[in-house]
């Protein structure tokens, strides 16, 4: 197995199980969309959607990629060490029971143990779903295996760089929308559309649950004709079962996605709560 060449500081942490100073690592206050990789062997370890601010001074993740991180007893006999399951490189420690996120887990990782790969290459795709308040839609998509990030935002309107106040109190035409970045080798577009129809009420025309208004309608912004055909096929199946689907199909190529303000991202996870108007109902 071929490993990356490490400098002396990297060897001290990764191979000799050292610890970098708190608040000194480049990924401590870093929240771009992407995948965190093992510095020694390039194994994907963590998705950016699982990163959160723990105020500990080290990058914190409440989940890891399945099978990528191994837990072992620390030499101090108290803590649990985490290492790369592929090369055994030291990453940091895992802590549970702190009540910082709903998963109640904190992988405390040294920045120097990580590399970062942004979601900007052709191996990842984006999809756009609107199903009422974007907090709940984001919550459910972020839980889907293969989804790398789910971002709340605005789409479909006629005002550049809209704010939450704009779409609520001005007739901008925007719809609360979630941008889903996903790995098509893990989850298909078809499965994402199925999930969309199972986490909200696609028969409600004027909003979703108690959230009434044009910014809360059910809509899918499709990127190409293949996606549109997939959506229509699944709508036909639901209508064959007796449902009256009112979801609008809109060409994403004619509209820009504007990311919402920071306070609207990871809303339920940061508050350790669940959506009040989005429940999962199996329909396929």
What amino acid positions are annotated as catalytic residues? 108, 133
Q: How far is CA 257 from the centre of its chain?
A: 16
CB 107 within 8 A of CB 47: no
Q: Per-residue DSSP letters for 162-226?
A: --HHHHHHS----EEEEEEEE-TTTS-HHHHHHHHHHSS-TT-SSEETTEESGGG-EEEEESSHH
CB 173 within 8 A of CB 160: no
Half-sphere exposure of 240 (CA within 13 A, CB side): 8
CB 69 within 8 A of CB 26: no
- Residue 280's CB is within 10 A of a number of other CB atoms, namely 12
Please give the Cα distance from 256 to 254 (Å, whole number).
7
Please give the Cα distance from 255 to 128 (Å, whole number).
11
């Amino acid at each position: 197995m071929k490993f990356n060449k490490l400098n002396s500081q990297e060897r001290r942490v990764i191979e000799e199980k050292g610890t970098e100073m708190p608040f000194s690592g480049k990924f401590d206050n870093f929240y771009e969309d992407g995948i965190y990789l093992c510095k020694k062997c390039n194994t994907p370890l963590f998705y950016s959607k699982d990163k959160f601010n723990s105020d500990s001074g080290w990058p914190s993740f409440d989940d890891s990629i399945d099978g990528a991180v191994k837990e072992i007893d620390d030499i101090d006999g108290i803590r649990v060490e985490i290492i790369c399951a592929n090369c055994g490189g030291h990453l940091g420690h895992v802590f549970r029971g702190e009540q910082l996120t709903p998963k109640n887990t904190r992988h405390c990782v040294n920045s120097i143990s990580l590399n970062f790969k942004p979601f900007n290459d052709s191996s990842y795709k984006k999809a756009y779903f609107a199903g009422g308040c974007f907090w709940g839609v984001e919550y459910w998509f972020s839980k889907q295996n293969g989804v790398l990030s789910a971002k709340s935002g605005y789409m479909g309107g006629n005002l550049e760089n809209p704010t939450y106040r704009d779409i609520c109190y001005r007739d901008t035409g925007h719809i609360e929308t979630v941008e889903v970045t996903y790995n098509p080798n893990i989850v298909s577009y078809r499965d994402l559309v199925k999930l969309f129809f199972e986490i909200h009420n696609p028969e409600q025309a004027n909003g979703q649950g108690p959230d009434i208004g044009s910014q809360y309608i059910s809509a899918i912004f499709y990127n190409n004709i293949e996606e549109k055909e997939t959506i229509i096929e699944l709508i036909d199946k639901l209508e064959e079962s007796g449902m009256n689907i009112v979801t609008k199909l809109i060409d994403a190529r004619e509209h820009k996605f504007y990311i919402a303000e920071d306070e609207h991202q990871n809303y339920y996870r940061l508050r350790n709560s669940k959506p009040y108007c989005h429940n999962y109902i199996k329909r396929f």
